[in-house]
Structure 1
Amino acid sequence: MSKSLLIISRQAPWAGPSAREALDIALAGGAYDLPIALLFLDDGVFQLASAQQPKVLQQKDLGANLQALPMFGIESLYASAPSLRERGLADQALALPVEALDDEALRALIDRYDQVITL
């Protein structure tokens, strides 16, 4: 039986390679039918903001990777409710439907998974 994997993405999409690497790991695992979930935490919630303009920063758009997650069987998508609030994203339409979790629910989520990768 495959071990479950939770990937925690904590970096903004333009803060370096970590955001892209988290998505790449999720997509690769999804291609092998591994039970994977993705949690956006801290500045990682900025990946969920719609209408980003990465070309202004000479960055690649992560939107296509985000939209591909459900096609690879990655439908368990979560975000930290406090992180969304602190960054002004709590009431905005996000690029993906995620379940916003409070701190207690985040701890329970992390405990449910066999392996956790934080980027």
Structure 2
Amino acid sequence: MPKSLLIISRQAPWAGPGAKEALDIVLAAGAFDLPVALLFLDDGIFQLLANQNGAAIQQKNLTANLQALSMFGVDDVYACSHSLIERGISPAGLAVADVQSLPVEEVRALIDRYDQVITL
């Protein structure tokens, strides 16, 4: 049986390669039917905002990749509610509709449920 995998994305969309790499790992794992989930923490929350445009800095928009998660079998997408509140972001303004907002206490429990955790 494959081990479960949790990817934690902590970088803003264009702060470096971490955001795109996290999505690439999740999509690849989903394509191979591995049990995978994605958790957004800290500035990684900014990846979830709608209407992003990276063209000014010659970067690809990640929103299409986020919206494709369910097509790759990735249904477990989480956001830390504390990170959302700290950054003044409402769950209603997120580009991905199926994001589950979790309080900090549940984030810790979520991390403990997975066999492998990768933070980017």
Q: Which residue of 1 is the match for residue 99 of structure 2?
A: 98
- What do residues 21-48 of structure 1 show as CA deviations (whole Å, max 9, x unaligned)? 0000000001110000000000000000
Contact 1:13 1:47 in 2 (8 A): yes
Q: Which residue of 1 is the match for residue 44 of structure 2?
A: 44
Give, in whole Å, the separation in 2 of the partners of 1:55 and 1:95. 18
Deviation for aligned residue 1:68: 1.1
How high is the sequence identity, in percent, across the aligned residues?
A: 66
Give, in whole Å, the separation in 1 of the partners of 2:53 and 2:61. 8
* Runs ≥4 residues deviating over 6 A: none
* Counterpart mapping for 1:67-82 below 5 A: 67-82=67-82
Q: Which residue of 2 is the match for residue 11 of structure 1?
A: 11
TM-aligned CA distance change 1:41 to 1:49, over 3 Å: same
Q: Which residue of 2 is the match for residue 110 of structure 1?
A: 111
Contact 1:81 1:90 in 2 (8 A): no
Deviation for aligned residue 1:90: 2.5
Aligned length, in residue pairs: 119
Between 7-16 and 92-101, report the one with greater CA deviation: 92-101
Q: Which residue of 2 is the match for residue 63 of structure 1?
A: 63
Secondary structure (helix, strand or coil) at the match of 1:11 reads: coil
- What do residues 70-101 of structure 1 show as CA deviations (whole Å, max 9, x unaligned)? 00000100001010111111254211121111
Gap runs ≥5 in structure 2: none
Contact 1:10 1:42 in 2 (8 A): yes
